[in-house]
Amino acid sequence: MKELSLNILDITENSVKAGAALTQILIDEDASTLLLTIADNGSGMTKEVLQGVTDPFYTTRTTRSVGMGLPLLKLAAEQTDGWMKVESIHISDDPENHGTKVEALFHKDHIDFTPLGDVVSTLLTLIQGHPDTDFLFRHSIRGGEKEVEVHMDTRELREALDDVPLNEYEVIKWIEEYLNEQYNGPEDAEE
């Protein structure tokens, strides 16, 4: 994938498919690294499935229900001398506290680092496609020239909006502006 945000879309779609009510997408950047965390409270994976999850054949052999998402994210991270790890608790092992957490570390100064790309579009695509599930997004950039802290929680938006569905055009437009303002500041939000 030409942008990390497409990997994020792919992995988060898996979370939604796994029945997650809430998926957290966290991006922590400092001057030289980017840590991506995608954590959901979906059904989780059994130990067996978890072991095979980065083996492309485990997932492609039959129906491709999981897809190449994790193998490709792992490759993208390792190409920058980084790493990816996946932890998961299956619903049958712990009915109260289950889900999957994917973490990937990228070295941004490596020539094979894939740029993050348009993460705002990725979030809007997710909200539009899954208006009834929740997403918590946090992106912090520190240690560079510009410090950025972006935060969006659809649970908070939902509360503020009463019964208006999150995938209404006006709402999506508003979320887009809300995110862009946090990235760019209110003055130069429009481009």
Residues binding other proteins (CB under 8 A): 1-2, 6, 55-57, 60, 64, 68, 71-72, 75
Q: How far is the CB of 72 from other proteins (least distance, A)?
A: 5
In the bound state with other proteins, the residue whose beta carbon lies nearer, of 71 and 82, is 71
- 79: Cβ–Cβ under 8 A, 6 or more apart, which residues? 110, 112, 113
Closest CA to 163 of 131, 124, 136, 135: 131
- Which residue type does 128 have? Q
- What is the per-residue burial (b if ≥16 Cβ within 10 Å, else e) of 18-34? bebebbbbebebeeebb
Work out how close the CB of 98 gets to other proteins at its nearest, in angstroms, rounded to a whole number.
Answer: 28
Q: Are 67 and 10 in contact (CB under 8 A)?
A: yes
Least distance (Å) between residue 70 CB and other proteins? 11
Smallest distance from the beta carbon of 112 to other proteins, in angstroms? 10
Identify which of residues 2 and 146 has a Cβ nearer to other proteins in the complex.
Answer: 2
CA–CA dist 161, 2 (Å, integer): 35
Q: Among residues 80 and 133, whose Cβ is nearest to other proteins? A: 80
Complex with other proteins: residue 6 or 20, whichever CB lies closer = 6
